[in-house]
Amino acid sequence: MLAAILVNGLVLSGIYGMLALGFALTYGVARILNLAHTAFYMAAAYALFFFLGLLGFAPAALLSALLVLGLALLAYWLLLEPLKEYEATVLIVTIVLALLLQEGILLLFGGHFRSVPALLPGFLEVLGVRVAQQALLALFFAGLVLLLAWALLKGTRLGLGIRAAAQDQEAAELLGISLSRAGYWAVGLGALLAALAGLAVAPMATLEPHMWNAPLLVVLAAVVLGGLGSLPGALLGAVILAFAEVLVVNLLPGGAFLRTAVALLILVLVLVLRPEGLFGAAFAEER
Amino acid sequence: MAHHRWLALLALALALAGPAAAQTLRIGILGPMAFVQGEHTWHGATLAAEELNRAGGIAVGNQRYRIELVRVDTNEMTSVTDAATAVERAITAQRVDFLVGGFRSEAVLAMTEVAADYRKVYLITGAALDGILAGRVDRNYDRFKYLFRVSPTKSSDLARTSLLLLGEVIQAVRRDLRVERPKVAILAERAAWADPLVETASRLIAAPAPQGYASEVVGTWRPSATATDVTPELTAIQRAGAQVIFTVLSGPVGVPFGRDWGRLKIPAAPVGINVEAQQETWLKATDNLGAYVATLNTLAPSVAITPKTIPFIANFQARFRQFPIYTASGAYAALYILADALQRAGTTAADAVVRALEATDYVGPSGRLVFDRTHDVTWGPGYTTGLGVQWIEGRMQAFWPRQWRVGNQVVSYAGVRPYQLPPWVVEAWRR
């Protein structure tokens, strides 16, 4: 049972991790609580489904990621940047954006359940547990994407600019860093991470117009659990929630439907004991 | 003289136009039209309306009526309130005379309240919850007598049938794998309609023969109806050593179940209810990994439940290029049942139509339809039974009822083939 928990938990962590990092990035830098984050993830999955009908996997995936990136930047330019000062309005606008995407997809693709064929069919036995090769591929992909994102933020001038803008907006501006440009980069990177998560999950998930709801809840919980805006916090939050879910299914089979509820309970408990989240103390420094 | 000629022509024209200018009956077809369930309700009704109109419409008393269908999108998948509002609008603004359709039990409960308020005859063709009719029509007849259910059979009858299918698979495990006491895992979505089924199944599986299946329940897993990943559940079921998985799934979770089960080649044969596996899009939706999945269904290709089954399927496929799901055969039958009742009643007055509907004995594409005292369709041999189907070689094949013995009666439909265990299940367990 331990092996099953370990293997399944790790695979789920990779996917939640990608989603949570993108969300935390958008908030940490551009100060936007983007409730349309997982709707971008859904849009990428559907775009992949659509383009696969016309193209091979690689060009279809590339086109899907670019499409979602363009969509996110357009939404930022048109709707979010002008309203950035009004946090509540931004929240409402992003949820409206998510619902618009949901309705648009319902209109274009109908309410049918769709699926994207796996790149790697079949399964492997890892520690005696059957794991779909596609899931292992998604885990590897998630690891790679997270490493690249980390390298970009920590090791490049662009990343430095983004982090500086996040840390102290006035000082960054005095040093010649364009806050507006940093915002675009953060939103773009966040959306790109959501899109990549969508591409990784599409061959394992069922595509339907409400598929953004459940992961949004988990992502919100993960970033709050980790400390809102903290990038390592978001990742740790994602891992904790993923393992909590897998533990519930394995230890309490009759209550498997409670997996998300138990994960949220952990969130509430952490917040009661440590309201700033797990990485809350490092919050200012991290941003 | 010229005047007279014109008047004569006018009189002749009126005389000719008189009988031809039939009146219209407006029938509201209710359903979530962006989803396959609503779409097929509409298609099934359209097919019946076209046939009835082509045959000259419905004779009611000495009047002929043409059928005009009104498409009512209930949006019931997302909003029960929208569904009730849509029915109200159909009655008051779109002036429909009768109502047919509905899919989600929760929404149909609200929709039937509105229909009862306006005393409109409503033939349900999608929702299964017993309580939509039981406890309402029998206890409060005057208010709810306008409601009838044509399809599917009610939840408790679906439960009986799915347990009969489970029995078939347990038998196959005993026979083909030589496992004396097969192990069964129950995988049921978390929903009110599934609870009694889980309880009955657990009892029946473990009970000794001949009442029970003399098998072992290795565990009960209850994922959410909207779970998108059941890998942890499947891993645990495999670890529990199950040879059979009894599924009770009506929600979207049916798709990830089929896909993950096929991809991981879990050595346990799934049978029970999986609504997603009832549709012809099943293999596509599961990336072709849903082969060998077995589920309760209403229709299957080339299986003649009644003489009307094959012509209905053929006409439906020719017209809509899809295989009909149960809401299609239900709506199709509902229109014929209504037409028949109107003819017998000789009036469109609701109370008289209700009395005529109560006397219905109609053979439709999915069985013989006779309403019981709660206005529910009668289940059992000689009436409507349902089918057990399995995905074999890229298509849906029926495996039940085949030599189904009920008292002295043996029920079999032409075109039903034996159940087949998935090859990897055979490989894993054959002794």
pLDDT tens by residue, A4-17 = 888 889 988 988 99
Q: Could B221 and A253 be called an inter-chain contact, meaning their C-beta atoms sit closer than 8 Å?
A: yes
Angle between helices A37-52 and A57-75 (to 10 degrees): 150
Report yes or no: A96 and A219 within 8 Å, Cβ to Cβ: no
| B192 shares contact with chain A (CB less than 8 Å) | no
For A212, the closest chain B residue by CA position comes to B228
pLDDT at B394: 92
Q: Mean pLDDT throughout A236-258?
A: 87
pLDDT at A237: 92
Question: Per residue in B168-186, is it b (16+ CB within 10 Å) or e — as a string?
Answer: bbbebbbeebebeebbbbb
Indicate the pLDDT class of residue B7, thresholds 50, 70 and 90: low
Q: Could B233 and A253 be called an inter-chain contact, meaning their C-beta atoms sit closer than 8 Å?
A: yes
**Quick one: B383 exposed, middle or buried, by C-beta within 10 A (0-12, 13-18, 19+)?**
middle
pLDDT at B20: 45
**DSSP category for residue A76:** I
- Parallel, antiparallel, or unpaired for β B404-406 and B409-411? antiparallel
To the nearest whole angstrom, how far is the Cα of A111 from the nearest Cα of chain B?
A: 5
Q: Is the dihedral of CA A81, A87, A93, A97 positive or negative?
A: positive
What is the per-residue pLDDT across B376-398, written as a single tens digit (0 to 9) for each?
A: 999 999 999 999 999 999 999 99
What is the per-residue pLDDT across B74-123, written as a single tens digit (0 to 9) for each?
A: 998 778 899 999 999 999 999 999 999 999 888 999 999 999 999 999 99
Indicate the pLDDT class of residue B9, thresholds 50, 70 and 90: low
Q: Is the backbone of residue B292 left (phi > 0), alpha (psi -120 to 50) or beta?
A: left
Q: The complex's ipTM?
A: 0.79
Could you give the CA distance from residue B60 to residue B342 in angstroms, rounded to a whole number?
6
Rg (C-alpha) for chain A, rounded Å, is 19
φ, ψ of residue B361 to 5 degrees: the values are -145, 95
- Chain A contact set for B262 (CB, 8 A): none
For B277, the closest chain A residue by CA position comes to A113
What is the per-residue pLDDT across B258-286, written as a single tens digit (0 to 9) for each?
A: 999 999 999 999 999 998 999 888 998 88
φ, ψ of residue B322 to 5 degrees: the values are -140, 160
| B232 shares contact with chain A (CB less than 8 Å) | yes
Report yes or no: A25 and A166 within 8 Å, Cβ to Cβ: no
**Quick one: B402 exposed, middle or buried, by C-beta within 10 A (0-12, 13-18, 19+)?**
middle
What is the per-residue pLDDT across B123-140, written as a single tens digit (0 to 9) for each?
A: 999 988 899 999 999 999
pLDDT at B6: 61
The beta strands (E) that lie in B280-371 are given as: 294-297, 361-364, 367-370
- A278: pLDDT strictly greater than 70: yes
What is the per-residue pLDDT across B218-252, written as a single tens digit (0 to 9) for each?
A: 999 999 887 878 888 999 999 999 999 999 998 78
Cβ neighbors of B253 (< 8 A, separation 6 or more) are: B189, B223, B224, B225, B226, B227, B228, B230
Bridge partners, B99 (sequence order): B28, B122
Helix (H, G, I), strand (E, B) or coil at B94: coil
- B179: pLDDT strictly greater than 50: yes
Q: Mean pLDDT throughout A246-262?
A: 84
pLDDT at B149: 97
- Parallel, antiparallel, or unpaired for β B387-392 and B294-297? antiparallel
Q: Mean pLDDT throughout A237-258?
A: 87
C-beta pairs of B419-424 under 8 Å, 24+ apart in sequence: B419/B168, B419/B169, B419/B172, B419/B294, B419/B388, B419/B390, B420/B172, B420/B292, B420/B390, B420/B392, B421/B169, B421/B172, B421/B173, B421/B176, B421/B177, B421/B269, B421/B292, B422/B269, B422/B291, B422/B292, B424/B265, B424/B267
pLDDT at B221: 94
Rounded alpha-carbon distances, angstroms, from residue B174 to A196, A238, B179, B271, B418: 47, 44, 5, 15, 15
- B365: pLDDT strictly greater than 90: yes
Percent of chain B with pLDDT over 90: 76
| Alpha carbons within 13 A on the beta-carbon side of A64 | 31
What is the per-residue pLDDT across B281-325, written as a single tens digit (0 to 9) for each?
A: 899 888 889 999 999 999 999 899 999 999 999 999 999 999 999
Q: Could B265 and A134 be called an inter-chain contact, meaning their C-beta atoms sit closer than 8 Å?
A: no
Could you give the CA distance from residue A188 to residue B429 in angstroms, rounded to a whole number?
52
Q: How many CB atoms are located within 10 Å of the residue A73 CB?
A: 15
**Quick one: B159 exposed, middle or buried, by C-beta within 10 A (0-12, 13-18, 19+)?**
buried
- B8: pLDDT strictly greater than 80: no
Counted across chains A and B, CB pairs separated by less than 8 A come out at 112
Indicate the pLDDT class of residue B349, thresholds 50, 70 and 90: very high
- Average pLDDT of chain B is 91
Bridge partners, B391 (sequence order): B396
List the structure tokens of A104. 């648009």
Report yes or no: B265 and B290 within 8 Å, Cβ to Cβ: no
What is the per-residue pLDDT across A65-114, written as a single tens digit (0 to 9) for each?
A: 999 999 999 999 998 888 888 888 989 999 999 999 999 998 898 877 88
What is the per-residue pLDDT across A27-50, written as a single tens digit (0 to 9) for each?
A: 877 788 889 999 999 999 999 999
Cis peptide before B182 (omega within 30 of 0): no
Predicted model pTM? 0.81
Q: Is the dihedral of CA B241, B244, B248, B252 positive or negative?
A: positive
Highest-scoring range by mean pLDDT, A251-265, B208-222, B350-364: B350-364
Could you give the CA distance from residue B385 to residue B398 in angstroms, rounded to a whole number?
13
Can you spell out the DSSP letters for A247-262? HHHHH-GGGGGGHHHH
- Chain A contact set for B265 (CB, 8 A): 123, 130
Could you give the CA distance from residue B29 to residue B331 in angstroms, rounded to a whole number?
8
Q: Could A132 and B266 be called an inter-chain contact, meaning their C-beta atoms sit closer than 8 Å?
A: no
Q: Mean pLDDT throughout A130-154?
A: 88
What is the per-residue pLDDT across A185-231, written as a single tens digit (0 to 9) for each?
A: 888 999 999 999 999 888 888 888 888 988 898 898 898 888 877 78
- Parallel, antiparallel, or unpaired for β B361-364 and B367-370? antiparallel
Rounded alpha-carbon distances, angstroms, from residue B402 to A184, B50, B278, B405: 65, 35, 19, 9
To the nearest whole angstrom, how far is the Cα of B324 from the nearest Cα of chain A?
A: 15
- Chain B contact set for A106 (CB, 8 A): 34
Interface test with A, best of B239, B263, B288 (most A CBs within 10 A): B263
Bridge partners, B245 (sequence order): B185, B270
Indicate the pLDDT class of residue A287, thresholds 50, 70 and 90: very low
Helix (H, G, I), strand (E, B) or coil at B157: helix
pLDDT at B419: 95
Q: Mean pLDDT throughout B327-337?
A: 97
Bridge partners, B188 (sequence order): B248
Q: Could A12 and B233 be called an inter-chain contact, meaning their C-beta atoms sit closer than 8 Å?
A: no
Could you give the CA distance from residue B11 to residue B13 in angstroms, rounded to a whole number?
5
Q: Mean pLDDT throughout B391-420?
A: 91
Q: Mean pLDDT throughout A136-157?
A: 88
- A140: pLDDT strictly greater than 80: yes
List the structure tokens of A165. 């803008």
Q: Nearest-5° angle of CA A101, CA A103, CA A109?
A: 95
Q: Mean pLDDT throughout B55-83?
A: 92
- B18: pLDDT strictly greater than 60: no
- B197: pLDDT strictly greater than 80: yes
Closest alpha carbon to B147 in B187, B103, B116:
B116
List the structure tokens of A8. 């399944």
For B251, the closest chain A residue by CA position comes to A113
C-beta pairs of B196-203 under 8 Å, 24+ apart in sequence: B196/B155, B196/B156, B196/B159, B197/B155, B197/B159, B197/B162, B197/B248, B197/B273, B198/B222, B198/B248, B200/B159, B200/B163, B201/B163, B201/B166, B201/B246, B201/B248
- Chain A contact set for B285 (CB, 8 A): 112-115, 206
φ, ψ of residue B124 to 5 degrees: the values are -80, 140
pLDDT at B40: 95
